[in-house]
Structure 1
Amino acid sequence: MSRTGSDMRAIARGGALNIFGEGGKAVLMTVILLLLARSVTKEEYGIFTLAQVLALMLIPIGGLGLSRTISRHIGYYQALGDRKMVNSVIRSSIHLWPISAVAISLLFFALSVPLGHYVFRHEDYLPNFQMFSIYVGANIVSQQVGGIFRGLREVKPKIYFVDLMPRVLALGIFAVLAYQGAPILMYSTAYAMCFTASAVMSIFYLLRHYSLSGAWIPTHMALLAFSLPVLVQEIFFTSNSKLSVLILGIFVDPATVASYTVAQKIAARIPFINQGMLFIFLPILSGYMARKDTEAMRKIYARFTKWVILLALPGILLLLLFPVQVLALFGDKYRSSWSILILLTIAHSWSTFLGPAGPTIIAMGRVRMLMLFALLTAAVNVSLNVALIPAYGGLGSAIATVTALGIYAFLTLGYVYRRARIHPFNRDYVRLLVHSPGLCFLEHLLIVQYMGTSILSLAVAVPAFMATVWGLALLLGLITGSERRAVMRRLHGMFGGR
């Protein structure tokens, strides 16, 4: 078995587990938001959303870009067999992120007063913002511990403590609060406490199950030097959608913000398959870079992108062709956001179609270029948001988002192609992207003709779209014989016994 073949199997195994975690996280968050949206007023939902958005914008700053840097460095030094440097990376990072978590939490708490009084001009915002300062610190800690698990290729602890535990706790408590008709502040408090409990448990698990003894050398400054350009990119990636919500909050009422954020939350679930597979992809690709094996990087990039698109394309087409029905799951009051959902679906699909160019640049160690691309596209995003939101509201924000994320995706892919001739495209892959939407559109017309536009039509469209995409992939030869056999063995092992 070739090295890329065995590594792709490792990515598939780890990715399958992580997709379960990411999928569980996405489902839990969708149910949590659905429960919240149906339990409180649109204004209260908008207040909760704005507090969460502000928190999510500050979390990358507190993380210092260390999460992916830790994963990259651990994978890089493990490929070279340098245990001392692996230990050094982990121990140095543990010294850094608690300080930043406390600092950013205090900053968020301090900002809550001027934001509540002078920016959003709404007294009900203030206590919710203050409570989310606890959520900020807990989330920073969880993400950094998850970065260590990622570098060590330990998927299950990350799933348990980072993805599932805080959201399972939140869902249970939210259900009780909804039954009691609790005010929005109780939801914010419960949300923050659930993430805090999970962060504490993840630290205990790391210290209990992984020995950090042995020789090490301080690498704090080296980690920070590599991390800061990654931090700029993460801030752009996080703030791209969050900034739109904040500008909406300044120019429009909370009800309009709620309508936009429901569509944004749905579309933001699209990359969860991509993100799940990337969990093991980054440290493995960093190992290839350490060995200077460019050919292996090309092969695994193309195979990775192919499998991500096969898994994600049915869901993408579902959102593009049935946006009204999907939004109706959150209530009829959100149906009018269908055009926003279509644009945001395209925006969040760029990286799925073009492949993991950003993480590949990190594995190459070219993080300054990634920072420059992020700064350029952030400038485009801010300019378009400011220009379009006052006139077009949520639709203008969606146009800005799809433009900015598209520019970023093509810039990063162009760079990795120029550096190493890495790209995902071949004739059959392009044919799949061209023919699948057309066939699924015909199925959409038939479903609407015979079932109307009810939510029940989604139950028919999901298996129909999956069968179309996978059947076309088999006809085009995108799934090789060895890949089919590997999938069947995996399914047999999961459901058919030993």
Structure 2
Amino acid sequence: MIGVRFSAATTAERFLPQRLALRMVPLLDRIDAVLFTADERGEAGRMSVIAFSIRIISAVIAFVSQVLMARWIGSFEYGIFVLVWVTMVIVGNLACLGFHTSVIRFIPEYRERGMLPELRGIVVASRLFVLIASTLIAGLGALGVWLGSAWLENYYVVPFILGLFCLPMIAMGDLLQGLSRANSWALFALSPTYLVRPVLILAFMALMLALGYAPDARTAIFASIAATYVTTLGQLIGVTSRMERIIPTGPMKVYFGQWFVVSLPIFLVESFFFLLTNADVLMVGAYLDPNDVAVYFATVKTLALVHFVYFAVKAGVAQRYAQFTHGEPERLAAFARETVSWTFWPSLVMALLVLALGQPMLVLFGPEFTAGYPLLFLLVFGVVARAAVGPCESLLTMSGNQNICAAVYAMTLAFNIGLNVLLIPHFGLWGAAIATSFAMIFEAGALSFTVWRKLGIVMAIFVPARRDA
């Protein structure tokens, strides 16, 4: 055992205007202190409300920024940028190898049991592991793109290689989000990724265009790289500073093998879920040209107004699921049922709103983007079906059923990819929409059934709550 002091901010401070970053820390501390001081259920509810609010603002920011991006660089270059950026976000998330979620399970347990050496160990080890793993993956990815350039369209090679430079910071940002969620620091968890980064991407892009850079995908990727590094390093300073104040200096214990064994199935769950969420965009990119990618992505981005309800509730309840699984099955069941209502009804309202306003929203991207409006009527069924069962995968993962959850997602992902392969060549964007909607409906049914079989909890909005032996 060795003494440890959380000093990762030292390196980050060399790269940032540290006065601004450090001044934000006490402000966010005061806001979180006001928001998270009541009982346990209230804490989860407030975190979901904060997450919900952030995702509303984020959806508006993302929509405006993507409209401007499409207008600035045109649908073809925008399609290239979209495919590269979505791929980087997916791979960056996967590069955490599940640690960004497993820390949400371990940190509350160690804190409640007073296991400070283990708490220090997982905070330090997870950050080092994610940084090293993501850097290696980025290097291997760049090598793979270079070696496989003969099989890629020429306009994708350089943008993909450039995009890999921001992969380690995307992964670190996801881990820092997990560390913040484990402590119910809603603003530290969500605002960097969902508020700060998209605003900075837009700001850097506007600056580069004003300086005379070409309005193309490469410029957009350079702006994204700069924004990602500034955001993640600022978040690292904030989270590290706050950790130093709540965890006293002392010995550290590292049980990397145990953490990795738990993280690996979670990694599979998160991988399948993330791939499932974005497989349609990747498959469209594989079969169709960048213009089609742009239209489809703009349509999906419009649907994000419905998706964010699900993700906001998921962000707020995962930590509480983890705490209730320790000998409180009745409270877990009641709370889980409540989260289904939190997810479904706001999602339904947002779905109707999107269908009503979808066409004028897509016109903002450009006249050619309205081709995606009819797809919304099909895609919305899958989104609402997912919302109707609540955050089942978080409940399974936090209750120790991550293995079977991973199996469900593996089946769903295979089902989704199979449908895409069969339908996209014949029906184009309609094929992708059909595959995605059917896959989400299958996912919702399979996860709800699995929760009922494993935990005896009915996670379905219109099905009466009951427990079966």
Indicate if the aligned counterparts of 1:74 and 1:283 stay in contact, CA closer than 8 A. Answer: no
Aligned to 1:287: 323
Task: Quote the Cα distance in structure 2 between the aligned partners of 1:248 and 1:425.
Answer: 31
Alignment of 1:28-67 (within 5 A): 28-67=61-100
Shift of 1:391: 0.2
Aligned to 2:144: 111
Deviates more, 1:33-42 or 1:8-17: 8-17
Aligned to 1:149: 180
The reply to whether residue 137 of structure 1 matches residue 173 of structure 2 is: no
Which string of whole-angstrom CA distances, capped at 9 and with x for unpartnered residues, describes residues 375-433 of structure 1? 11111111111111100011111111112222122111111112222224576999xxx
The reply to whether residue 182 of structure 1 matches residue 214 of structure 2 is: yes
Aligned to 1:262: 298
Indicate if the aligned counterparts of 1:286 and 1:363 stay in contact, CA closer than 8 A. Answer: yes
User: Match for 1:209 among 232, 242, 254?
Assistant: 242
Aligned to 1:236: 272
Shift of 1:80: 4.0
The reply to whether residue 166 of structure 1 matches residue 202 of structure 2 is: no
The reply to whether residue 391 of structure 1 matches residue 422 of structure 2 is: no
Aligned to 1:93: 126
The reply to whether residue 337 of structure 1 matches residue 372 of structure 2 is: yes
Indicate if the aligned counterparts of 2:344 and 2:461 stay in contact, CA closer than 8 A. Answer: no
Aligned to 1:476: none
Task: Quote the Cα distance in structure 2 between the aligned partners of 1:224 and 1:193.
Answer: 31
Task: Quote the Cα distance in structure 2 between the aligned partners of 1:384 and 1:260.
Answer: 17
**Structure 1 residues 30 and 108, CA gap change in structure 2 (3 angstroms):** farther
Q: Which runs of 5+ in 2 are unaligned?
A: 1-37
Q: Which runs of 5+ in 1 are unaligned?
A: 431-498
Deviates more, 1:347-356 or 1:239-248: 239-248
Which string of whole-angstrom CA distances, capped at 9 and with x for unpartnered residues, describes residues 103-131 of structure 1? 12212322333555413x2x222221122
Alignment of 1:434-449 (within 5 A): none
Shift of 1:61: 2.5
Task: Quote the Cα distance in structure 1 between the aligned partners of 2:256 and 2:128.
Answer: 8
Which string of whole-angstrom CA distances, capped at 9 and with x for unpartnered residues, describes residues 423-470 of structure 1? 24576999xxxxxxxxxxxxxxxxxxxxxxxxxxxxxxxxxxxxxxxx
Which string of whole-angstrom CA distances, capped at 9 and with x for unpartnered residues, describes residues 308-344 of structure 1? 3333321111223443233223222111212222222
Task: Quote the Cα distance in structure 2 between the aligned partners of 1:323 and 1:26.
Answer: 14
Aligned to 2:30: none
Indicate if the aligned counterparts of 2:382 and 2:437 stay in contact, CA closer than 8 A. Answer: yes
Residue 201 of structure 1 aligns to which amino acid in structure 2? G
Shift of 1:295: 0.7
Task: Quote the Cα distance in structure 1 between the aligned partners of 2:411 and 2:78.
Answer: 33
Deviates more, 1:95-104 or 1:174-183: 174-183
Task: Quote the Cα distance in structure 2 between the aligned partners of 1:111 and 1:419.
Answer: 41
The reply to whether residue 376 of structure 1 matches residue 411 of structure 2 is: yes
Residue 71 of structure 1 aligns to which amino acid in structure 2? I
**Structure 1 residues 427 and 349, CA gap change in structure 2 (3 angstroms):** closer
Shift of 1:233: 1.9
Which string of whole-angstrom CA distances, capped at 9 and with x for unpartnered residues, describes residues 173-220 of structure 1? 223345557332111101111101111112222222212532332121
Task: Quote the Cα distance in structure 1 between the aligned partners of 2:353 and 2:319.
Answer: 32
Deviates more, 1:234-243 or 1:68-77: 234-243
Shift of 1:145: 1.0
**Structure 1 residues 283 and 93, CA gap change in structure 2 (3 angstroms):** same
Indicate if the aligned counterparts of 2:313 and 2:391 stay in contact, CA closer than 8 A. Answer: no
The reply to whether residue 198 of structure 1 matches residue 234 of structure 2 is: no
Aligned sequence identity (%): 21
Shift of 1:263: 0.9
Indicate if the aligned counterparts of 2:131 and 2:172 stay in contact, CA closer than 8 A. Answer: yes
User: Match for 2:448 among 385, 397, 413?
Assistant: 413
* SS of residue matched to 1:349: helix
**Structure 1 residues 59 and 350, CA gap change in structure 2 (3 angstroms):** farther
Q: TM-score, normalised by structure 1?
A: 0.79
Alignment of 1:420-439 (within 5 A): 420-425=455-460
Task: Quote the Cα distance in structure 2 between the aligned partners of 1:352 and 1:243.
Answer: 19
* SS of residue matched to 1:166: helix
Indicate if the aligned counterparts of 1:68 and 1:147 stay in contact, CA closer than 8 A. Answer: yes
Aligned to 1:453: none
Q: TM-score, normalised by structure 2?
A: 0.84
